[in-house]
Amino acid sequence: MAQLGADPAQDREFFDEVRRGLRWVLLIGGGLLGLLAGSETEDPVVSACGLGVFLAVILFLFWETKRYFDGAPPPTIHDLVIEDPVTLAVGLPALLLLGVAGLFLASGAESTGGYYAGLGLALGSVGMAFLSLKACFDAEEAARGNH
């Protein structure tokens, strides 16, 4: 069977650009959805969360654009986790406090939007804590294997 002329490097570059474009479409859609949800409600918590989602998406898109023009690879979750044990000793209590604050926000919420925002904050901070622990132990293991 004859090939159509594209080598694997060109295919990889093409699909990397397709992935980047799809990520942008999903991010912009999520940001606009947050803006729409925040503008159509009278609940101040849901409004603030929607605006926060929109602003976070805008900041992330600016960061990704800067990385693209600097020649850096697209950001991944690996860029956000804590790998240094000393920094993790400070970061884990901060993530714990953020998670507890999210639980207090959820328990004191007067609407479903505030409840889900608090739960999302708590679950996000717990998830980031576990990912950071894993990254720290993986970095220690890789360093130990190199020596």
Question: Which amino acid would we find at residue 23?
Answer: R
Our separate counts of H helices and E strands in the chain read 4, 0
Distance CA 67, CA 134 (A): 25
103, amino acid identity: L
Q: Amino acid letter at 117?
A: A
| 57 vs 65: CA distance, rounded Å | 12
Cβ atoms within 10 A of the Cβ of 8, count? 7
pLDDT digits (tens, 9 = 90+) for 63-83: 888 988 998 887 888 888 999
Residue 143 has, within 13 A of its CA and on its CB side, a CA count of 9
Tens of pLDDT along 95-142? Answer: 999 999 999 989 988 888 888 888 999 999 999 999 999 999 998 998
> Quick check: pTM over 0.75?
no
The C-alpha torsion from 24 through 29 and 35 to 38, rounded to 10°, is -130
CB 27 within 8 A of CB 12: no
Beta strands in 62-104, from DSSP E residues, in sequence order: none
Average pLDDT, the chain: 86
- Structure confidence at residue 1 as a pLDDT band (50, 70, 90): very low
pLDDT at residue 144 in the model = 86
